[in-house]
A and B are shown apart, each in its own frame.
Chain A
């Protein structure tokens, strides 16, 4: 149990927690999904579950780009990087993600030219510095990240750089939410909307969730108080029988999003007809690819991509956990075959994945309690 006075604003946290308990009462069970992996991480990191009443259940959503990337895409990227004179550049988050023949870091240890970059712009810089090589940037991320990849591709074109391409795995959050809502075994009352994705896309794209699906959604910041306030806002809507899009994170998220960033995405990308999500399967129009105007910078158009498909082990129940049907520890593999050190399922791969977050904070905490009791 985390004590409320450990937080920075203990009085406000305590008052907000009281308000949550008052609003939640005891009659009704509330199921809320936090869409963003950053929120999932924060919920476990700050022990927010400990201060919520039992009848508020938080379901962890699909907003962790590393977790939802199918293993076949990693294999595809690494297969291209096996060709002579190719540099594989990716964010640090990707480096430990396993492909069937190991992670990018393990391939590096076997001699592949693998570089960690902080920004897509750094990958372009690598291309400038290594004109005799081809730099492939393995792009992942939601709409927070995609505009930066788009602008980097535009820059490569205007500078006339020919030894640079992007293996595009950018995904879009709205179709994933739609897939979850369409799922027959899904029972959700409300959504905690992603914060930084919304700085780019704004709040309007969520309106169908409120209007058509009659589910409240509150775009939320990442601090404990932000998330507790968002839960208060959701409870007020639910108790009043309302369904609206509200913005708790107004100090950072403009309602209209970032026009310049959206324009860059529209210039370079188009929607794929469908894309596979680990744990969720194929979702139509849920990912971006590079359009014909920028074909020269599209790894998939420049190279022969094997199109590898890897089925996740049957015993891994990532889909059920993603949809909130099972809790992480209820999966048969959790904490035994599947751990953050040896991830089998998608959600154990990144610290933002719900299984890894649960393992790192809850599971270890429980193990320590058991140990100290035994001692």
Chain B
């Protein structure tokens, strides 16, 4: 349950004073809080856990990790448990 999922930031917005982003994970887009990675910008890749980005990664790492998580069925808990863009 401590797995974080890599995704790419599509768009950054300020919502109620908080930095929030639309992040794409494979085919799914989610609203993600960027407060823990203030330096992250559109186009960057971040590791996301329970709707919060916790670290930046490069594209290669993001793609590798995403594939590995797919293989270990680690994406299901993080991505399938609610609808996308749920915030």
Q: Mark A156-188, 1 if CB is under 8 A from B, else 0.
A: 001100000000000000000000000000000
Assess the B3–A122 pair: CB atoms within 8 A: no
Assess the A199–B47 pair: CB atoms within 8 A: yes
Assess the B57–A251 pair: CB atoms within 8 A: yes
A73 CB within 8 Å of chain B: no
Assess the A145–B38 pair: CB atoms within 8 A: no
Q: Which residue of B lies closest to A147 (CB)?
A: B36
Least CB distance from B23 to A in Å reads 12
Assess the A42–B72 pair: CB atoms within 8 A: yes
B4 CB within 8 Å of chain A: yes
Assess the A46–B1 pair: CB atoms within 8 A: no
Least CB distance from A202 to B in Å reads 11
Interface segment among A10-18, A58-66, A302-310, A323-331: the answer is A58-66
Assess the A261–B54 pair: CB atoms within 8 A: yes
Q: Mark B35-47, 1 if CB is under 8 A from A, else 0.
A: 1111000000001
Complex alpha-carbon distance, A24 and B81, angstroms: 42
A196 CB within 8 Å of chain B: yes
Complex alpha-carbon distance, A336 and B69, angstroms: 31
Contact of A222 among B1, B52, B72 (CB under 8 A): B72
Contact of A141 among B1, B35, B58 (CB under 8 A): B1
Within 8 A of B (CB), among A137-155: 140-142, 144-145, 147-148, 151, 155
Q: Mark B65-87, 1 if CB is under 8 A from A, else 0.
A: 10111011110011001100011
Assess the A148–B52 pair: CB atoms within 8 A: yes
Complex alpha-carbon distance, A147 and B42, angstroms: 23
Q: Which residues of B contact A200 (CB under 8 A)?
A: 54
Q: Which residues of B contact A158 (CB under 8 A)?
A: 17
Complex alpha-carbon distance, A118 and B74, angstroms: 14
10 contacts between A and B (CB under 8 A): A37-B1, A45-B72, A118-B50, A121-B52, A122-B82, A151-B52, A196-B47, A221-B65, A222-B65, A264-B35
Which A positions have Cβ atoms within 8 angstroms of B? Answer: 8, 36-38, 41-42, 45-46, 63-66, 91-93, 116-122, 125, 140-142, 144-145, 147-148, 151, 155, 158-159, 194-197, 199-200, 221-223, 251-254, 258, 260-261, 264, 350, 352
Closest 6 A/B residue pairs (Cβ): A119-B51, A92-B81, A118-B82, A144-B2, A148-B52, A223-B68
